[in-house]
Amino acid sequence: MSASLPLFGKRAVVTGGSRGIGAAIVRKLAEQGAHVAFTYVSSPDAAQTLIDEVLAKGGNVFALQADSADVASLQAAIWQAAEKLGGLDILVNNAGVLVHALIDDIVQVDFDRTMAINVRAPFFAMQEAARHMQAGGRIINVSSNTAVSAAVPGAAVYGMSKTAVTAMTRSLAHEFAPKGITVNAIQPGPTLTDMTSEMQDFIIGRVPAGRMADASEPAALVAYLAGPDAGFISGAAVTIDGAMTA
């Protein structure tokens, strides 16, 4: 890896990194020179495939099994990553679940799991990661364009959880600013992943750009916010959705 790469030698943790946008983020950070640890909960084969791919391209990566719904498990994984890497420079809170259902069909277990993974997990991941960061640290939370507008039936729970992610991003940017740590959110719209593949026809018809994003596109935005040119950006929530919520 060349020392001229924008993230050369930076130490990163990506939660929920084995598939979809998370895997694209892992690839991009490693491609730009970072040493990347990522968590997965139930996809060891996908995690190993990603590791093999990144290593084959000369990147530095390893995986840790952790359920983001379990705060102790998640914080332990971040601690282990920091111990192995000798500290942390970048945290990307990507792990999330999508429940799409009308209010009459939502059951409490789905509501509670959505809040545990989409809201509680990133909060406590930031708490733990910040303990291992110095000035120059970067925290990027993966929210959603549903935090801007969730004006479709069945999006209430997911939109609520992602609105909370954006709100905590803005508040914690103030808390971490004196430490020299930035906190930002990206708000992807329709992105082709396992979570959205079954809804393509419905989604594409609502996007002015006429397509869904490739996962590499939000990943590139994360890499920029993690990089040296984004040191004065904090508390931002950048929407990337092909003008869907413009």
Query: Cα separation of 163 and 158, whole Å?
Result: 9
Q: Are 39 and 69 in contact (CB under 8 A)?
A: no
Token pair recorded at residue 20: 């979809």
In the set 12, 85, 146, 158, the catalytic residue is 158
Query: Which residue carries 């789905």 as its tokens?
Result: 110
Distance CA 23, CA 54 (A): 10
Note if 158 is an active site residue: yes
Q: Which letter, b or e, does each residue of 63-102 get, where b requires 16 or more Cβ atoms within 10 Å of its Cβ?
A: bbebbbbebebbbebbbbbbeebeebbbbbbbbbbbbbbe
Is-contact 23 14, C-beta < 8 A?
Answer: no
- Cα(96)–Cα(120) distance, rounded to whole angstroms? 11
Amino acid at 199: M
> What residues are labeled active site?
158
